[in-house]
């Protein structure tokens, strides 16, 4: 079939915030230890962080990294992770029933983030702790000196303040699994007061309140409304989390996960705007989609079933070509909501459902999902253009009818460069993309068409075959004399087409 879209520079819907290409490092499994950090590794720098992983993180192009959790943060004493490494306690981490050695803490992570050139997004513990620990952490991180906590940081070797701008007020506090799980009203009050105290320490910070853990939570919708009612004036963002997987062999539904994410974002925008109306506020709440990914959650036994170990292998999902198409499509969904979604974090960065994998003492490699993320982060910048698709439709059990073509376009207003992202969600037929380039003064030509596709949609990258799936250059994609972009998209494929 043929799918048609019209691309017009006058149809801008929002600007891509570089924070949309965020990721997430949690003290979970092997994300930190033997992930980003492994002092005994042959590539480790003088701080103990892996050089090979650092290189892949740079190539991934993530501009923001959330830390230190996740569920982990809800039992975390951040004071355990500062000062001389040999004095730090070994703690039982309640979230993942692991032994936390605290060899990496606030100063180590923030130092790594600075060297990587990424912005940190920190979370405070509103599960077992509260206002006092939260404001002390902001003081430790952001006050230059002359107070007890800031002088302690200086004594620990971090002379300059870390200047952390973005702060999450707890994590998934609506979830019964969360240490300190509570009601929306109680959480909202605590978040507002903790946020206020944190801003009293540093008025320049930005705050994220917890939304629902996913759209299937029984309190979904009401949780957001009640939390925002308590926190509206105090916070800058409301969080969303979502993980997608193939269920009951319904691959068509899985490939259409973007439609589910799209509805989720629209519902939260409506809920936030309802609270805005009720409060007669002029402020439009922005959204922080600070955990999203493909995660085969149904394969996870649950944290209670885990043996008590140090650095266990947890949820090290291996991603396929199909998963890469879904990740690419979820990124397009985020881009199409760039007017409200200002922050997003692919969860997580290394090993734990990560686009990067690493072995202790061994190599590191790019999962299939690495590629759509890296290329989107690199080239989908500037203004997101509104596009409507008309073409073949796929019937799905989970989401009803969805377009076979998923697409998003960005225009760099400075260079005029156009980036067209496209997924063929169909599993059987090629899709002919016809995009009318309308209203552009100049004639475009195709610089490059890169694609992730494979005869085997389950093909994956492994330690033995780390480059089994890589982006392939496509010939034949062109702009016709009539100014129409023409491309052929094979089944279950992700494409990036760059025009200049
Ligand atoms: O990313 C894994 C876990 O998923 C996080 O710790 C938690 O916030 C979410 O439930």
If one residue of 23, 171, 181, 288 were mutated to test the ligand 1 pocket, choosing by the most ligand atoms within 8 A of its CB, it would be: 171
If one residue of 30, 70, 217, 295 were mutated to test the ligand 1 pocket, choosing by the most ligand atoms within 8 A of its CB, it would be: 70
Contact 33, 101 (CB under 8 A): yes
Nearest CA to ligand 1 atom 5: 70
Distance between Cα 29 and ligand 1 center (Å): 12
Q: How far apart are the first and last CA of the chain?
A: 27
For the CA of 291, the closest atom of ligand 1 is 1
Distance between Cα 417 and ligand 1 center (Å): 36
Residue 187: per-residue pLDDT = 98
**Ramachandran angles phi, psi of 157, nearest 5°:** 100, -5
Residue 306: per-residue pLDDT = 87
Residue 203: per-residue pLDDT = 98
Q: Is 348 near ligand 1, meaning CB less than 6 Å away? A: yes
For the CA of 171, the closest atom of ligand 1 is 8
* For the chain, domain boundaries: 2-9+385-499, 17-381
Please return the burial class of 153, using the count of CB atoms within 10 Å of its CB with bins 0-12, 13-18 and 19+: buried
Handedness of CA 104, 106, 107, 108 (dihedral sign): positive
CATH number of 2-9+385-499: 2.60.40.1180
Q: What is residue 197's DSSP assignment?
A: H
For the CA of 213, the closest atom of ligand 1 is 10
Cα separation, 158 vs 142, whole angstroms: 11
Active site residue 172: yes
H or E element that contains 263:
helix 257-278
Contact 86, 44 (CB under 8 A): no
Please return the burial class of 136, using the count of CB atoms within 10 Å of its CB with bins 0-12, 13-18 and 19+: buried
- Strands 418-424 and 446-452, sheet pairing: unpaired
Cα separation, 191 vs 168, whole angstroms: 9
For the CA of 72, the closest atom of ligand 1 is 6
Which is the catalytic residue, given 26, 172, 226, 234? 172
Q: Is 93 near ligand 1, meaning CB less than 6 Å away? A: no
Distance between Cα 71 and ligand 1 center (Å): 6
* Polymer length of the chain: 500
Cα separation, 411 vs 438, whole angstroms: 13
- Mean pLDDT, contiguous 10-residue spans, the chain (500 residues): 97 96 98 98 98 98 98 98 98 96 98 98 98 98 98 98 98 97 98 98 98 97 98 98 96 98 98 98 97 94 88 96 98 98 98 98 98 98 96 94 98 96 98 96 93 98 98 97 95 98
Distance between Cα 314 and ligand 1 center (Å): 12
Handedness of CA 216, 218, 221, 226 (dihedral sign): negative
Active site residue 226: no
Q: Is 212 near ligand 1, meaning CB less than 6 Å away? A: no
Please return the burial class of 442, using the count of CB atoms within 10 Å of its CB with bins 0-12, 13-18 and 19+: exposed
* Residues near 434 by beta carbon (within 8 Å), at least 6 away in sequence: 2, 3, 4, 5, 484, 485, 486
**Ramachandran angles phi, psi of 346, nearest 5°:** -65, 125
Residue 456: per-residue pLDDT = 98
Q: Is 171 near ligand 1, meaning CB less than 6 Å away? A: yes
Residue 262: per-residue pLDDT = 98
Please count the other Cβ atoms lying within 10 Å of the Cβ belonging to residue 249: 8
Residue 406: per-residue pLDDT = 98
Distance between Cα 70 and ligand 1 center (Å): 5
Residue 302: per-residue pLDDT = 86
Contact 16, 382 (CB under 8 A): yes
| Most distant CA pair in the chain, distance | 70
Q: Is 26 near ligand 1, meaning CB less than 6 Å away? A: yes
CA distances from 25 to 236, 348, 493 (A): 22, 6, 28
CATH number of 17-381: 3.20.20.80
Cα separation, 346 vs 180, whole angstroms: 25
Contact 224, 235 (CB under 8 A): no
Q: In what order do the strands lie in the sheet with 493-499?
A: 12-15, 383-385, 405-411, 418-424, 493-499, 446-452, 472-473
DSSP string of 140-162, one letter each residue: HHH--SSSHHHHHHHHTT--S--
Q: Is 246 near ligand 1, meaning CB less than 6 Å away? A: no
């Amino acid at each position: 079939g043929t799918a048609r879209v019209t691309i017009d520079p006058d149809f801008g819907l929002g600007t891509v915030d570089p924070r949309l290409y965020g990721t997430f490092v949690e003290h979970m499994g092997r994300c930190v230890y033997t992930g980003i950090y492994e002092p005994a590794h042959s590539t480790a720098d003088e701080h103990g962080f892996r050089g090979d992983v650092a290189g892949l993180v740079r190539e991934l192009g993530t501009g923001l990294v959330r830390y230190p959790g996740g569920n982990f943060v809800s039992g975390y004493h951040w004071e355990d992770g500062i000062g001389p490494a040999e004095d730090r306690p070994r703690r039982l981490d309640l979230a993942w029933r692991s032994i936390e050695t605290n060899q990496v803490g606030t100063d180590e992570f923030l130092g790594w983030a600075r060297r990587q050139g990424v912005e940190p997004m920190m979370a405070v513990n509103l599960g077992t702790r509260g206002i006092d620990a939260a404001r002390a952490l902001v003081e430790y991180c952001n006050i230059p000196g002359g107070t007890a906590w800031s002088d302690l940081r200086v004594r620990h070797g971090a002379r300059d303040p870390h200047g952390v701008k973005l702060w999450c007020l707890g994590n998934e506090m609506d979830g019964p699994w969360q240490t300190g799980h509570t009601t929306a009203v109680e959480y909202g009050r605590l978040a507002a007061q903790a946020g206020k105290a944190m801003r009293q320490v540093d008025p320049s910070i930005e705050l994220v309140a917890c939304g629902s853990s996913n759209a299937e939570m029984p309190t979904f919708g009401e949780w957001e409304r009640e939390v925002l009612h308590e926190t509206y004036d105090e916070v800058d963002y409301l969080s969303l989390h979502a993980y997608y997987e193939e269920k009951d062999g319904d691959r068509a539904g899985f490939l259409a996960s973007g439609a589910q994410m799209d509805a989720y974002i629209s519902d939260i925008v409506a809920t936030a705007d309802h609270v805005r109306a009720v409060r007669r506020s002029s402020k439009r709440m922005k959204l922080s989609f600070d955990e999203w990914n493909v995660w085969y959650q149904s394969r996870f036994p649950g944290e209670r079933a885990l043996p008590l170990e140090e650095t266990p292998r947890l949820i090290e999902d291996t991603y396929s070509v199909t998963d890469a198409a879904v990740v690419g499509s979820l990124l397009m969904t985020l881009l199409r909501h760039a007017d409200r979604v200002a922050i997003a974090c692919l969860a997580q960065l290394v090993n734990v459902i990560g686009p990067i994998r690493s072995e202790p003492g061994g190599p590191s490699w790019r999962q299939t999902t690495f590629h759509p993320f890296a290329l989107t982060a690199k080239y989908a910048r500037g203004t997101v253009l509104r596009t409507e698709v008309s073409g073949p439709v796929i019937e799905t059990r989970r989401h009803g009818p969805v377009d076979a073509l998923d697409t998003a376009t960005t225009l760099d207003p400075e260079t005029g460069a156009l980036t067209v992202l496209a997924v063929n969600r169909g599993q059987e037929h090629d899709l002919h993309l016809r995009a009318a380039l309308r209203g552009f003064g100049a004639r475009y030509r195709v610089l490059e068409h890169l694609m992730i596709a494979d005869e085997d949609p389950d093909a994956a990258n492994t330690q033995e075959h780390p480059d089994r799936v890589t982006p392939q250059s496509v010939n034949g994609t062109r702009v016709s004399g009539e100014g129409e972009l023409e491309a052929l998209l094979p089944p279950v494929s992700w494409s990036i087409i760059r025009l200049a």
